[in-house]
Structure 1
Amino acid sequence: MSLKLQTIICSTRPGRVGSSIAEWFNTAANEQGGFESELVDLADFNLPVYDEPNHPRMEKYEHGHTKAWSESVAKADAFVFVIPEYNFCPPPSFVNALNYLYNEWNYKPCGFVSYGGVSGGLRSAQMAKQLVTTLKMMPMVEGVMVQMPWEKLDENRKFQAEAVHSHSATAMLEEMVKWTDALKVMR
């Protein structure tokens, strides 16, 4: 049975560059061979600000958008969050999506492909790592950082990865396979 990875586009902002980066990473993850990767777009779930009456740990979801999000997250063994930096932080859409669920995240590794200005979204990824640990996820030390991503798009807005991005992706994915195998026993 192959390991299931979700490459999650975390920005829901119109005109975002994250979808292009996520498409590149998702292809790279499938080519690497350790995972069967699926591209997931938070915008497709249209999650309002958290609106469930029950605590997520109870899994007593009342809304269709929550049930769909739960089903999507539950089927994955690991996650890569393609995450921008907004005011040194992860986007609200990412935080909100995490808060909707609890058990579905537990004992699964996650990695970050961060992007932004000169910092490449590193501050956002560091803050996001603190958040995911409260959901019993294991964030990878390895990651992919993309500085000035708008400068790395071709005329069709397709992300043109550089060698450093590809090497970083490979290192993160190799480590994630180890953690996914190890944590699967705990689920």
Structure 2
Amino acid sequence: MVKIAVVAGSTRPGRHSRQVADWVLRRARERGGATFDLLDVADFNLPLLDEPMPPSRGNYQHEHTKRWAAAVNGYDGYLFVTAEYNHSVPGALKNALDFLYAEWNNKAAGFVSYGSAGGIRAVEHLRLIVAELQMADVRAQVSLPFATEFQGYAAFTPSETAEQALQALFDQLISWSAALQAVRA
């Protein structure tokens, strides 16, 4: 069975990342076709990248890195839930990605983003980042603008359009996650 992690990528107080990630996880589990878990970057308390060796060497020195690597390694694909901060990726998510290398290789990546413009610029940056980590990103994505998906900036209320887009994203992410198992074998 394909295993996919929904990665909540913001650690900011008052973040929407968990609301959105919880919605994604609920819908994923209702849909089936894979096993889905939540990886919340906030739960790992990663400092700014402090490993003395490049992650591509796989020689992790710190316990927080080893714990993060063990959590990430067991999945076939990742669905990144990202905010858009200043036209890019939250620093905590970029840092979490930068801590590891081989654990991300030859796995699938999908994106659910949110922000004033739906987070699309953050996803543009994430696509470049995951490519360097040797991940295959799927085309389908979910973009959640504050104006239409969040009532008064606080309560996340996904539209029918977002619900449909999420199903298309699941279809592609599950397929690619399964296909890449053969590449890693």
Question: Corresponding residue for 2:112?
Answer: 113
Question: Corresponding residue for 1:141?
Answer: 139
Question: Corresponding residue for 2:65?
Answer: 66
Shift of 1:160: 2.2
Question: Corresponding residue for 2:21?
Answer: 22
Paired letter, 1:34 = G
> After the TM superposition, which residues 80-159 of structure 1 pair with which residues of structure 2 at under 5 Å, given as runs?
80-117=79-116, 119-148=117-146, 152=150, 159=156
Shift of 1:159: 3.0
Consecutive unaligned residues in structure 2, runs of 5 or more:
none
Higher relative strand content: 2
Shift of 1:152: 2.6
For the aligned residue pairs, the C-alpha RMSD in angstroms reads 1.6
Question: Corresponding residue for 2:163?
Answer: 166
Normalised TM-score (structure 2): 0.94
Question: Corresponding residue for 1:186?
Answer: 183
Contact 2:141 2:166 in 1 (8 A): yes
Deviations 1:15-70 (A, max 9, x none): 10111011000111111112211111101101111001112122211111101100
Count of residues paired in the alignment: 183
Shift of 1:150: 8.9
| SS at 2:109 equivalent | strand
Please say if 1:176 is aligned against 2:173.
Answer: yes
In 1, Cα distance between the equivalents of 2:99 and 2:4?
A: 19
Deviations 1:58-92 (A, max 9, x none): 22111111011000110111001100101100111
Q: Which structure 1 residue ranges, 4+ long, deviate > 3 Å from structure 2?
A: none
Normalised TM-score (structure 1): 0.93
Identity of counterpart residues, as a percentage?
A: 37
Shift of 1:178: 1.4
In 2, Cα distance between the equivalents of 1:69 and 1:141?
A: 27
Deviations 1:128-150 (A, max 9, x none): 10110000001111001101079
Contact 2:149 2:159 in 1 (8 A): no
Paired letter, 1:161 = P
| SS at 2:156 equivalent | coil
Q: 1:100 to 1:149 in 2, by over 3 A?
A: farther
Moved more, 28-37 or 141-150: 141-150
